[in-house]
Amino acid sequence: MYSTLDPAGPAARNIATLWWVMLGGATFIFGLVMILLLLSFTRRKGAGGEARQLRIWVIGLGLVFPLAVLGALFACGLVIGERLLARADPEVTRVSAEARSWAWSFAYEDAPGQRTEGVLHIPAGRPVDVAITTADVIHSFWVPRLAGKLDAIPGRVNVLRIEADLPGTYRGLSAEFSGAGYGGFTFQVTAHDAAGWDAFLEDARR
C-alpha cells in the first residue's frame, strides 16, 4: 500500500498533517468563494450602498481573508518542513541506497560488505539515514508510509531520514519517470524489532 494518509512513522505523519491542513485551508477558501458567488446573484442594488458593499467584498473578503489563510498555511508548511530536517542523533542507523535501471541496491554501515537487492532492512523505532545515489539516470526514493521522496542524482548523495514505528514491511517505489520499465521499479522496506535487527546484522557479519 502506497498511501501517504496512512503514516507509519514520524516523518510521514508530519507530511500527512500538512496535507490535511492544506486541504482544509483550500476547502475554506473555496467555500467562501462559492458563498460570494451566490450572494452576487441574490444581492439587492441600493443607492450608495453598492460601492461600499463592493469594497467589503473585494478588499475584506477577496484579499484579506485569502491572504490570511494562505499566510497561515505557509507558516504551517515552514514549521512542518523544519521538523523533517535530519538532526544529529546518536541512535541513528546509516544505510546507503543505489538505484539503477531497474533495481535498488542497499548497503549497511553496521554490516560492512553486506548488500541486499530490492529489500532495505532497518530497525523499527529508530531513525535511519538513507544515503541515496544512482548509477545511471535520475530516480527517486519514496516509501510513502515512512517519509517523503528524495531524488537519486548521478554523482551526488542525498540523505533522507526515515523511521518506522513498528516492525513490518513497507512498500517503496521510484517516483521519478526514468524510461521504459519505470512502472515496475519498486522495492520494499523491512523493519525489524530489536531481536530481528540484531539477528540480521549477525547473519550479515558471518
- Closest CA relative to residue 14, chosen from 88, 91, 71, 78: 78
Report which residue type is found at 111.
Answer: A
Strand partners, 100: 103
**CB neighbours (10 Å) of residue 132?**
24
CA angle 56, 60, 63 (to 5 degrees): 125
Integer Cα distance of 18 and 47 in angstroms: 46
Which residue has 548523495 as its cell numbers? 157
Rg (CA), the chain: 24
201 by DSSP, 3-state: which?
A: helix
Integer Cα distance of 102 and 117 in angstroms: 11
Total-model pTM: 0.76
| Per-residue pLDDT at 190 | 95
Integer Cα distance of 58 and 196 in angstroms: 62
**CB neighbours (10 Å) of residue 34?**
10
| Per-residue pLDDT at 128 | 94
Q: The C-alpha cell of 122 is what? A: 532497518
139 by DSSP, 3-state: which?
A: strand
| Per-residue pLDDT at 167 | 96
What is the residue-level pLDDT of the chain in tens, covering all 206 positions? 678 888 999 889 988 988 898 898 888 888 877 877 777 676 555 545 565 666 666 666 667 777 888 888 888 888 877 777 766 677 789 999 999 888 899 999 988 888 999 999 999 999 999 999 999 888 899 999 999 889 999 999 999 999 999 999 999 988 777 677 666 788 999 999 999 998 988 887 77
